[in-house]
Structure 1
Amino acid sequence: MKNMDWSSLLIRMSKGDEEAFRTVYEETRDHAYRLIYYLSSSKEDVGDIMSEVYIELLRSADKYRPEQPFFAWFNGLIVRQVRNWKRRNWRLYRIVEKVKLLADHSFDRKAEAKLSAVGDQIELLPILRKLPLKAREVIVLRYYQDCSLEEISTLLDIPLGTVKSRHHHALKQLRRQFEEIHGGKEKKDYVY
Structure 2
Amino acid sequence: MPEIQGDQKLIRRLQAGDVEALGDLYDRYRHQIYRTALAITHDPNAADDILQECFLRVYRYANRIDPALPLAPWLYRVTVNLSYTWTKRNRRNAVSLDGVIDYLTSAPSAAPEPSAEQAELLQKIQEAIDALPFEQRAVIVLHYLNGLSVKEIAEVLECPVGTVKSRLHHARRKLRKQLGHPGWVSELAHGYT
Higher-Rg member (1/2): 1
TM class by shorter chain equals 0.3 to 0.5
The structure with the largest helix share of the pair is 1
